[in-house]
Amino acid sequence: MTVDASTTVAEAESSQRDTERLRVMDLLGPVRGRLFLGTAMAFVSSVLGLLPYVAVAEIAALLLTGGARSAVVWWVVAGVLGAAGRLGLLVVANFVTHYADADLQRHLRTRLARHMATVPLGWFGGRGSGELKKVMDDDIEDMHHLVAHAMLDVASAVGLPLAAIVYLVTVDWRMTLVTLALLPLSVLAMRIAHRTMPARMAQLMDAQRRINNSTIEYVDGIQVIKAYGQDGGAYRRFSSVVDEFCDVLAAWTREAGKAMFANMALLSPASVLVVVLGAGTGLVAAGWLQPVDLLPFVLVGVGLPAPFMTLLQGTQSLRKARVAAQHVSDVLAEASLPAPTRPRVPSTYDVRFSAVDFSYDGSNKVLNDVSASCPQGTVTAIVGPSGSGKTTMTRLIPRFFDVTGGAIEIGGVDIREIPQHELLRRIAIVFQDVVLVRDTVRENIRLGRPDATDADVEAAARAARMHDVIEKMPEGYDTVVTGRGGVLSGGERQRLTIARAILQDAPIVLLDEATAMVDPENEVAVQEALSELTRNRTLLVVAHRLHTIAHADQILVLDGGRIIERGTHDELVERDGKYARMWFIQQMTTEAVQ
């Protein structure tokens, strides 16, 4: 039996939609009960909203036919109660869903923050700040319509028309069909116009992520761009992202505009009134309808499409909200770093790589069969050309990523068997990229050990050769610094992170060319601070300036993800291999500069 390819694709798309719907419902789980309550209240409110129109129609019929005055009074009371009940229930329903939305935003942001704390640290490296800002802020804000309005709109679009149809059928079923005639045409026009909308919306959200990343990158790098006179090229790159976003937005607006124009034309009160009066007049002239029976269709039927218009006007916001919810769900679905089934904690701190393989994308190996032993209390330097895997090798130790083959051990314990908080507590990391938070100098240092006293913080700052610098700041240790350092120079920011690592007092220290971006005047101070940090600890250092690791206990030379040489500085120079060539080139460059 041959399976139709189009049927298979359709089934796959349907299955994907079902999966997405379930994941969105999972996000709404904490407030689902309140949403159902708000929806039920909106439904009843919508039904009650029909009463004033029915009351007017019935009162008019009674007055025209000489009906009883008592019946008129009762319909007046019913109309007033219906209007008051509709307004009261709708207000309460909106309060319920809006408070639910506020609670859900708090819940999702907390859930995202907690989940992001469990994913591998390397996951953040492949994503710009703009994308993280989007999921934590923009996407959750975009879900507002889905939570606070969508279900109320659906309830209103079902409740009032359903009650109205029941009422109008009791008056005349033929005119009821005439009154509803434009609705199928509206639905057909909407389906045709919206065929490309899911793809357009996905393009729009992707363009928004790119413009977020580009904006943050442009602002972060503006000082360097200006300093090197590259603002023209940088601006053109930023401008191209903005232009792309505008093009996608324009295409999306055109598609949405077609659907909205078609529905406004078909479902406007004027269009419905023309159809109702035209058909109704014909039926009256033919003797099939009493003139008084035309009143309910004029008063009630003309307002019948209004809830549908509200629902259709929110379609684009709902689509955007669903895409945003899907993005939040995708981030929450990112695999957490596997927790150990039988946690163990090492008692010694030698580091061993055993036939380690690693790939970022599952295909191209960044590290290939890397084996090395770094005894406790020794210095191991890792050198090699750019892209050889030096930084990757150090970042596997604190489990920024998990190895794809082999194992890394600390004190004979596989790092995957060590609880993450215990592993990170035993590793001090000082990378080339300095990371500070917007807080006081004191609290930036205290990140290394949150329970440290002020005296401990000051002692760490002294050891990092930063105490005197801090004392000269406007507020001393209470001076607020930003993520980019603010009042601190590059070397001072680096020493601040070293003070943080000293305070942590971890037995293993990872340095990724901590002095590469430091000016010569600060390099001496930074080297002295590093000497304090690395004393009697297991040290792995990625180095580009080979003179800084000439006294290392062992040097590992990487090339193409493999260790091609290992030994002391003297041994490797004497061997006249890759390291020796790198050493002599740097020596010649230094002499030429001098």
If DSSP states are collapsed to H, E and C, what string results for 299-359?
HCHHHCCHHHHHHHHCHHHHHHHHHHHHHHHHHHCCCCCCCCCCCCCCCCCCEEEEEEEEE
- For the CA atoms of 398, 400, 406, 412, the dihedral, rounded to the nearest 10 degrees, stands at 10
44-61 pLDDT tens trace: 998 888 888 888 888 888
Phi, psi for 341 (deg, rounded to 5)? -75, -35
- Sequence ranges of the domains in the chain: 5-332, 344-424+546-594
The pLDDT, as a whole number, for residue 153 is 84
pLDDT band at residue 17 using 50, 70 and 90 as cut-offs: low
The residue assigned the tokens 């804000």 is: 141
The pLDDT, as a whole number, for residue 7 is 53
The pLDDT, as a whole number, for residue 224 is 47
The 3-state DSSP class for residue 522 equals helix
Tell me the average pLDDT across 144-170: 85
Share of the chain above pLDDT 90, in %: 17
Phi, psi for 538 (deg, rounded to 5)? -80, 120
The 3-state DSSP class for residue 481 equals strand
Helix (H) or strand (E) holding 137: none
Tell me the average pLDDT across 466-478: 87
Top-level class of domain 5-332: mainly alpha
pLDDT band at residue 25 using 50, 70 and 90 as cut-offs: confident
Beta bridge partners of 302: none
Best mean pLDDT range from 5-14, 198-207, 364-373: 364-373
pLDDT band at residue 228 using 50, 70 and 90 as cut-offs: very low
Question: What is the CATH code for 344-424+546-594?
Answer: 3.40.50.300
Neighbours of 323 (CB within 10 A): 20
Best mean pLDDT range from 52-56, 180-184, 437-441, 565-569: 565-569
Mean pLDDT of the chain: 79
479-510 pLDDT tens trace: 888 755 556 777 788 888 888 888 888 899 88
CB 540 within 8 A of CB 511: yes
Instruction: From residue 506, give the alpha-carbon distance in Å to each of 134, 237, 437.
Output: 35, 43, 21
pLDDT band at residue 455 using 50, 70 and 90 as cut-offs: very high
pLDDT band at residue 557 using 50, 70 and 90 as cut-offs: very high
The pLDDT, as a whole number, for residue 497 is 84
Which of 414, 448, 339, 385 lies closest to 579 in space, CA to CA?
A: 385
pLDDT above 80: residue 566: yes
User: What percentage of the chain's residues is helix, strand, coil (to nearest 5)?
Assistant: 65, 10, 25
User: At a CB cut-off of 8 Å and minimum separation 6, what does 228 contact?
Assistant: none
Instruction: From residue 227, give the alpha-carbon distance in Å to each of 230, 231, 232, 490, 594.
Output: 8, 9, 12, 16, 26
pLDDT above 90: residue 278: no
pLDDT above 90: residue 413: yes
d(CA 130, CA 145): 22
d(CA 230, CA 227): 8
